[in-house]
Amino acid sequence: MYTLEKIKQNIAKEINKALTKNLVQASLLIFPPNPEFGDLSMPCFDIASAYAKASADKKKIGKTATETASWLVGRVEANEFFVSVKAIGPYLNFILNKNYLTENVIKEINKEKEKYGENKSGKNKKVMIEYSNANTHKEYHVGHLRNICYGDAVNKILSANGYKSIPVSYINDFGIHVAKTLWYYEKFSDLTKKIAKNWRDRGYFLGKQYLLATKKLEEDESLKQFVSFMMKRIESRKGPEYKLWQETREWSIKYMDEIYKELGVKFDHIFYESEVMKKGLNLTAELYEKRILEKSEGAIIADLNKYNLGILVFMRSDGTALYPVADLALAEEKFKKYKLDESIYVVDIRQGQYFKQLFKILELMGHKKKNVHLCYDFVKLPTGMMSSRTGNVITYEDLREKVTKKAVQEIKKRHKDWSDKKIEQIAGKIVNGAIKFEMIKVNANQVITFDINKALQFSGYTSAYLQYTYARIQSINKKARKPPYIKISEDKQESKKTNIDFDNLTENKESELIMKMAKYPDIVSRAGENYDPSEIAKYLFELARDFNDYYHSVPVLKAKKEIMEARLVLINTVAQIIDNGLRLLGIEVVEEM
């Protein structure tokens, strides 16, 4: 149990002791909006109501929350965890024992290190999170980046909360988009032209073919019949069209693998639509026999109007399959093979209705396990900021090229003596950080406007600012000749040999930093409960801001030796949490910037 949770448990126990009834839980304690009110606060609304119902003497503590808070003051006795109690309106406010908090939080972070903030609330439940559901034969664009960054962060956060999180991807390699791309490639491209051997260029080439195909079909809708024929030939799994599909599919898969490697994203397994399509067709036939599905104008549909969910089409009238055919088969395979407790789908907000329909059909099939659709809104760019080589889509290649160029320019301004290799290494971490942080720093239901110049600023709400703060602390360590070291031991006599006296941390800004760091486990827990990486992003920004404010106000290296040592330990616990938090967001720290 972390220090702050231990303190909360103690406060709840003391309140219940005063009430002579177990009416209060530690989870009810909140952080006051103004630090001057106290460090922790207990709202008394529910206490007054619950006590009135549970007690025969209803007048004992008063009828209102304000009266209840006043009554409890003086009856809740201070101890080693908190030094005073006061009532402000309907809230009972507690001032914590700063010496106890400081010593225990710092030692706790130094002991747990990269594990600090983790918990076991997930009880090792199996959760599969499916994200980066890209399509082969199409461009990998900025919208895909939000998906993969969001999904990867949620996966890491769930693991930190004690879940057995299984990250997977589902690649749509068998849809109508494939037929469009290959139809255009076969009919309009110069097949005699040598295709690049580089997987990245081949994958990028296919994306361009898809966009050209889409434009061509918009100009002449009669051409769609040829795309439909191409789709049927691919689904037959024989002939030159199927062979072309096999070859070009590999191009896209290798291309996506390189992107995943570049972003540092790993999956336990990658599913492909083509691998579950046959099972999906059989399942569709079974559902039709059971009358869960029905025919309508030649198509196979699910009529979900009685659930206010409309119509979901499974098979077109021309016999070609749509997304639900494979999606239902995959859902069954997931739960059967992996024995999941929960299945999470990270897909954009436009698919909200579709997943409600899909989950309803799974329910009608008898599935009772939890299914969750984590949706997210769009990514936009400032008007005129960038122009894509592929038309109206901002591709991953375009974005990364622009961000990398800008990052290298900024690094060269600051470090003219750095080698090209070092610049490239640091730039890679800064670029990944900038892209990922911008995609997850706000709640998923908010639209993102990706601005390269703002994303790479070393100040403000950016990954670069957090990486810079971490690097600044490493620079302070170097100036102090060696990083501070604190040995944590259960042996009190041995602990005294560390010569670190935390009583030297007496500044108000030091107490604020300690309190902020004590809250980190709560933030990790809340981010897991809400599937919300932005909780951690916001917290890290506030912590970095508080540290920089502290460093500008309080001398560290120029302080007396014993005070300097305590302050070095303090700022290194800040660095540890920045490292821990950024890791949960899929971002690497930088030692120098």
Is 412 part of a structural domain of the chain?
Answer: no
User: Is there a single domain that holds both residue 282 and residue 188?
Assistant: yes
**Residue after which a domain boundary falls, among 352, 372, 392:** 372
- Residue 278, judged by CB atoms within 10 A of its CB (0-12, 13-18, 19+), counts as middle
- Claim to verify: residue 214 and residue 79 sit in the same structural domain: no
User: Residue 191 above 70 pLDDT?
Assistant: no
Examine the fold and report which residue of 347, 372, 397 is the final residue of a domain before the chain moves on.
372
- The edge-to-edge listing of strands for the beta sheet with 299-303 is 294-296, 299-303, 311-315
Q: What does the pLDDT look like over 377-433, one tens digit per residue?
A: 988 877 544 334 345 567 888 889 999 999 999 899 999 999 999 999 999 999 999
The whole-number pLDDT of residue 494 equals 38
Residue 499 in any domain: the answer is: yes
Lowest mean pLDDT among 186-200, 321-335, 436-450: 186-200
pLDDT in tens, 65-110: 999 999 999 899 999 999 999 999 999 999 999 999 999 999 999 9
Report the distance separating Cα 316 and Cα 284, nearest Å: 13
In a domain, 104, yes or no: no
Beta bridge partners of 468: none
Out of 136-140, 170-174, 225-229, 543-547, give the one with best mean pLDDT.
543-547
- pLDDT of amino acid 499: 67
Both 184 and 327 in one domain: the answer is yes
Do 90 and 131 have their domain in common?
A: no
Q: Which of these three, 54, 74, 96, is where a domain ends?
A: 96
Helix then strand then coil, in percent of the chain rounded to 5, is: 55, 10, 30
The yes-or-no verdict on residue 190 having pLDDT over 80 is no
193 or 38, which is more confident: 38
State residue 512's pLDDT score.
95
Based on the structure, what is the number of domains in the chain?
3
Q: What's the rounded Cα separation, in Å, for the pair 457 and 247?
A: 43
Residue 320 or residue 526, greater confidence? 526
Mean pLDDT of the chain: 91
pLDDT exceeds 80 at position 501: yes
Q: Are 165 and 64 part of one and the same domain? A: no
Q: Do 89 and 142 reside in the same domain of the chain?
A: no
Q: How confident is the model at residue 62 (pLDDT cuts 50, 70, 90)?
A: low
- Would residue 339 count as lying in a domain? yes
**Beta-carbon contacts of residue 200 (< 8 Å; ≥ 6 apart):** 255, 258, 397
Among 392, 325, 454, residue whose Cα is nearest residue 143: 392
CATH of the domain at 570: 1.10.730.10
- My answer on whether 356 and 491 are in the same domain is no
d(CA 233, CA 176): 12
What per-residue confidence (pLDDT) applies to 387?
Answer: 37
CATH of the domain at 227: 3.40.50.620
Whether 76 and 131 map to the same domain: the answer is no
Task: Identify which of 338, 337, 340, 375 has the alpha carbon closest to the alpha carbon of residue 355.
Answer: 375
516 contacts 509 by C-beta, under 8 angstroms:
no
The pLDDT of residue 112 is 97
Task: Report how far residue 47's alpha carbon sits from residue 15's, in angstroms, rounded to the nearest whole number.
Answer: 10
Residue 217 falls inside a structural domain: yes
Query: What share of the chain in percent tops pLDDT 90?
Result: 77
Query: How do residues 172-181 score in pLDDT, each as one tens digit?
Result: 998 899 999 9
Query: Does residue 408 belong to any structural domain of this protein?
Result: no
In a domain, 395, yes or no: no
Structure tokens at 570: 């303090």
Do 189 and 331 share a domain, yes or no?
A: yes
Point out which residues pair with 92 in neighbouring strands.
42, 87
- What is the tens place of the pLDDT at every residue in 242-291? 999 999 999 999 999 999 999 999 999 999 999 999 999 999 999 999 99
State yes or no: pLDDT of 192 exceeds 80: no
Contacts of 12 (CB under 8 A, 6+ apart): 24, 25, 26, 28, 29
| Cα separations in angstroms, 37 against 34, 68, 136, 168, 293 | 6, 17, 57, 46, 61
In this prediction, residue 196 carries a pLDDT of 72
Residue 137, pLDDT score:
93
**Same domain, residue pair 223 and 294:** yes
CATH number of the CATH domain containing 44:
3.30.1360.70
Q: Does residue 183 contact residue 230 with C-beta atoms inside 8 Å?
A: yes
Do 471 and 582 lie in one domain? The reply is yes
Indicate whether 114 belongs to any domain: no
Same domain, 133 and 67: no
Domain range for 11 is: 3-96
